Amino acid sequence: MKSKTKSTEYNHQKIEKKWQKIWKLMRVYKTSEKGKKPKCYVLDMFPYPSGTGLHVGHPRGYIASDVYARLKRMKGFNVLHPMGYDAFGLPAEQYAIAHKIHPRKAVEENIKTYRKQLDLIGFSYDWSRSVNTSDPGYYKWTQWIFLKLYSSWYNKIIEKAEPIENLIKIFEKEGNENINAACSSDARKFTAEEWKIAGNLDRQNILMQYRLAYQGFSEVNWCPQMGTVLANDEITTDANGKQVSERGGYPVEKKTLRQWFLRITAYADRLIEGLDDLIWSPHIKEIQKNWIGKSIGSDIEFSIKGRQEKIKVFTTRADTLFGVTYVVLAPECDLVKKLLPAVSNRKEVEKYIADVKSKTDEDRMSANKDKTGVILEGIKAINPANLEEVPVFVADYVLANYGTGMVMAVPAHDERDYAFAKKYNIPIKEVISGGDISKEAYIGEGKLVNSGKFDGMNNLEAIRKITAFVFGKVVTRYKMRDAVFARQRYWGEPIPLIHNADGTITPVSEKNLPLKLPNVSSYEPIGTGESPLAGVKEWVEKGYETNTMPGWAGSSWYFLRYMDPHNKTKFVGEKADKYWKQVDMYVGGAEHATGHLLYSRFWNKFLFDYGLIVEDEPFKTYKNLGMILGSDSRKMSKRWGNVINPDDVVKNVGADTLRIYESFMGPFDQEISWSTDSMIGSRRFLERVWKLQEKVVNKYSDNEEVILLLNQTIKKVGEDIESFSANTAVSSMMILSNLLEQQEKISRKTYLDFIKILSPFAPHICEEIWFRFRNRKLLVLEKWPKYDTAKLYSSKAKIVVQINGKFRTTIEVPADSLQDAVEEEALKNEQVVKWILVQKINKIIFIKNRIINFVIASQ
RNA sequence: GCCGGGAUGGCGGAAUUGGUAGACGCAAUAGACUCAAAAUCUAUCGAUCGCAAGGUCAUGAGGGUUCGAGUCCCUCUUCCGGCACCA
């Protein structure tokens, strides 16, 4: 065997093509559920295959997870590393309309492009497990899960979803008097008798208030000119500040439409609690927590003088009840309508409500914080704590959709109430912090304290006491609302429900799933606000639901399908699910924190409730990545002309260089600008590694410095990959290669160990080098090298000598030397002596192998 | 406004978690090779004083704790992200 391998030029194109072909032929990335190895499920967020293809930013996360997956494989894990396509959704539909091509066709073509682009970069995906959410074989199960949600309710006593049949049995037995369930806010109490005599439609309406997928109404953005509903993304503001469609610039208004909802709020508590055990970056958890927005407060009733109706307010500060000086109702509040006839300034109030309605949400929110409102003359609310009469206002700073839409105002302790009270000259009464509940303790003089600041009583105990005192109820509320689960669009999963002529709804039976999306000639809006499916005769005749599911339906469970993608009888088989359990490492963008990441957790918990899967949480570890911006520090987009196509990079400098560069460019979770200039450094690095082949000899022992650094690097690179610090991993390998370059000879073992730890980052070049050293087995199947703990540290230690904490010089001593020895050595040093001179040493601070600090100045 | 994360050379960024600030890479400068250029190699590369040895100042600003602070504490400035009249 030749001791030196003749080095040729590093031809990345040839090498990358060659090994991609061989890996594919040998199916090295194919995974199965067999064997005794521990498992590791490494997942990327699957892309939406757009018409513009991948840009250089997309692979950043894919590269990081691929490096991780490769390391795990080499460390002996059975790795599941799949990739697929999130193919339903609005962008595909828009692309299709713009290009006059059927979305299915467009998606097919785009997927081909994506696959080609991804393949060029050399990812270690098991493509045999790929999924496409718009494939009927896939969305059959999306529909199946929807039906499961539809036929479930949430039992709050056992904190679990259950079949709706259980609920019906309870209704039959005892009505809903004692039920503790997640339900719509308008659910009323009824008895078993009432249930028995109720008609089918009544029963349906009642059940709808409990189902986890339910029908309801919501406001949408409606564009009369285009005859279609628009997503928020499709709307911009024109020069006059009016809301208009992004395409065409047509006016947009609000319209109430029939929708389907998912009762995600049922899971609010579990979605918060579940975060504790997840290894996610804290700020992502924080975003989810904020979004869910749990707050504990009290429902308290104020009676209205001389009337039957009650004003039911929600407050988190029941302890300030004695400071209430007025009550506010939201303009949309039903109670306002009921009270209007008795209001003496009725005209004024009606005008105010009309004005508010004409404002857009944005106007209302951004209206420079100036509070507006109008008093309901002739109406007085009675504070249940002290039976004081207070005025009632209608004001738009109270939102109809949070809490009860009615608020007790305590200007002394709430900034907004304070601003309002100042403007309308309402008294401001401070509540004195005190111990027991007695009127005296709470009633103070009418002077202002710093808004909102009220120590002492702001605790649950006080709130409980006073809430009980006024016969209120301590309740938990959430900001999060139920998710609208319907789109008036063509390109989505059909909702598998049938509307019968009598108004009842029947689910499509399981054996008839998938309910396939019909092939229509026109998938453009039909002008009524309904989905294009409403224009398909056979569809409507059969009574099928014309709304389709939103883009996030398919992505809410795809991680489960990868475990068992070809299962025809279940969305995931028991065996596969028990084996893979959950995603161990999930990588993707932080922008999905309140969307996909929340919905997926919700669906996963729901399926878990039924024992259909074994894990409550889908993603154990989640690493969020920062975006790659264009070299001009703007988002890469056609509009700015700053898009870099990975295909070009791969062609010019190679996939390995791209992989190294994207790993090296900066911390993974930070946004960073692309720099083609900087990339050259990564290419140079690989070329130097390539050239090192010439220095390799068979029988040679490396010097201590090389051996130490090699061992340290093996350790560091392994640890850095695990913690997603690829940038420092690459830098440490550069340091090693720099040292190896200085050597005249390198041992074969050292070089090949280096190649092994480099291979997750640059698999092609490493496989080629490995091959050139006449290894028969493929490098991708090799084990990760072990470092020798005895060879991590030098036998000598460099000690920093400080005088008064200031660096003065370094000395070299045997490793692990004790203080006395180091002291003695240090005091021999000229530099040290010079600084100490005749001054007395007050104190010596010594840290083994690191530092000795002489403190001489007296304090 | 509230919550979360940042701010380090000309640039991207390191820093053993309180212990030599600026690793590694890019750019730049000089030199070698070349007829020349590119590529490659070698050296320099925070500011400042000094012939040098070496010193002083430097991690957004200002205070503090400590033998010692980029790292911990307080105040402020500023940038990015999330939520936003949430009662």
- A61-107 pLDDT, tens digit per residue, is 999 999 999 999 999 999 999 999 999 988 888 888 888 889 999 99
> Which nucleotide lies at the shortest CA–C1' distance from A802?
B68
Calculate the angstrom distance between C1' of B50 and CA of A835: 19
* Closest residue to B83 (CA, C1′): A290
**d(Cα A853, Cα A706) in Å, to the nearest integer?**
31
User: Which pLDDT tens digit goes with each residue over A474-533?
Assistant: 888 899 989 999 988 899 999 999 999 999 999 999 999 899 999 887 777 777 888 889
**A137: Cβ under 7 Å from strand B?**
no
What is the rounded end-to-end Cα distance, in angstroms, of chain A? 71
**d(Cα A146, Cα A266) in Å, to the nearest integer?**
16
Calculate the angstrom distance between C1' of B46 and CA of A297: 56
**d(Cα A649, Cα A564) in Å, to the nearest integer?**
35
Nearest to A519 by CA among A142, A102, A110: A102
User: Which pLDDT tens digit goes with each residue over A249-264?
Assistant: 888 887 888 899 999 9
pLDDT band at A241 (very low <50, low <70, confident <90, very high): low
**A834: Cβ under 7 Å from strand B?**
no
**A666: Cβ under 7 Å from strand B?**
yes
> Which nucleotide lies at the shortest CA–C1' distance from A734?
B24
The strand B neighbours among A residues 274-313, by Cβ under 7 Å, are 282-283, 286-287, 290-291, 293, 295, 297
HEC sequence for A417-465: HHHHHHHCCCCCCCCCCCCCCCHHHHCCCCCCCCCCCCCCCCCHHHHHH
The strand B neighbours among A residues 323-362, by Cβ under 7 Å, are 330
Question: In the prediction, which pLDDT does A6 show?
Answer: 47
> Which nucleotide lies at the shortest CA–C1' distance from A671?
B80
Calculate the angstrom distance between C1' of B41 and CA of A9: 18
**d(Cα A604, Cα A615) in Å, to the nearest integer?**
8
The strand B neighbours among A residues 389-418, by Cβ under 7 Å, are 396-400, 402-405, 407-408, 414, 416
**∠ at Cα A591 (A682, A137), nearest 5°?**
95
Its pTM stands at 0.91
**d(Cα A593, Cα A571) in Å, to the nearest integer?**
25
**A627: Cβ under 7 Å from strand B?**
no
Task: Please answer whether residues A694 and A769 qualify as being in contact, where contact means their C-beta atoms are separated by less than 8 angstroms.
Answer: no
Question: In the prediction, which pLDDT does A832 show?
Answer: 78
The strand B neighbours among A residues 56-75, by Cβ under 7 Å, are none
ipTM, two decimals, is 0.94
pLDDT higher than threshold 70 for residue A446: no
Calculate the angstrom distance between C1' of B1 and CA of A624: 28
**A847: Cβ under 7 Å from strand B?**
yes
> Which nucleotide lies at the shortest CA–C1' distance from A845?
B67
**A804: Cβ under 7 Å from strand B?**
yes
Task: Lowest mean pLDDT of A43-52, A358-367, A587-596, name the range.
Answer: A358-367
| DSSP per residue, A733-747 | HHHHHHHHHH-S-EE
Beta strands in A98-242 (DSSP E): 152-155, 160-163, 213-223, 228-230, 235-237
* Closest residue to B5 (CA, C1′): A283
Beta bridge partners of A279: A621
**A567: Cβ under 7 Å from strand B?**
no
> Which nucleotide lies at the shortest CA–C1' distance from A293?
B86
pLDDT band at A455 (very low <50, low <70, confident <90, very high): very low
Calculate the angstrom distance between C1' of B55 and CA of A238: 64
Calculate the angstrom distance between C1' of B24 and CA of A666: 11
Beta bridge partners of A474: A298
**A601: Cβ under 7 Å from strand B?**
no
pLDDT band at A368 (very low <50, low <70, confident <90, very high): low
Compute the Cα dihedral for A248, A254, A255, A257 and give only its sign: positive
3-state helix, strand, coil in chain A (%, to 5): 40, 20, 40
Question: In the prediction, which pLDDT does A754 show?
Answer: 97
**A451: Cβ under 7 Å from strand B?**
no
pLDDT band at A4 (very low <50, low <70, confident <90, very high): very low
Calculate the angstrom distance between C1' of B30 and CA of A684: 22
Pairing type for strands A497-499 and A389-395 reads unpaired
Calculate the angstrom distance between C1' of B69 and CA of A536: 71
Give strand B nucleotides closer than 7 A to any protein Cβ.
3-5, 11-16, 19-21, 23-27, 39-42, 54-56, 67-69, 80-87
What does the block give as tokens for A687?
A: 């070329």
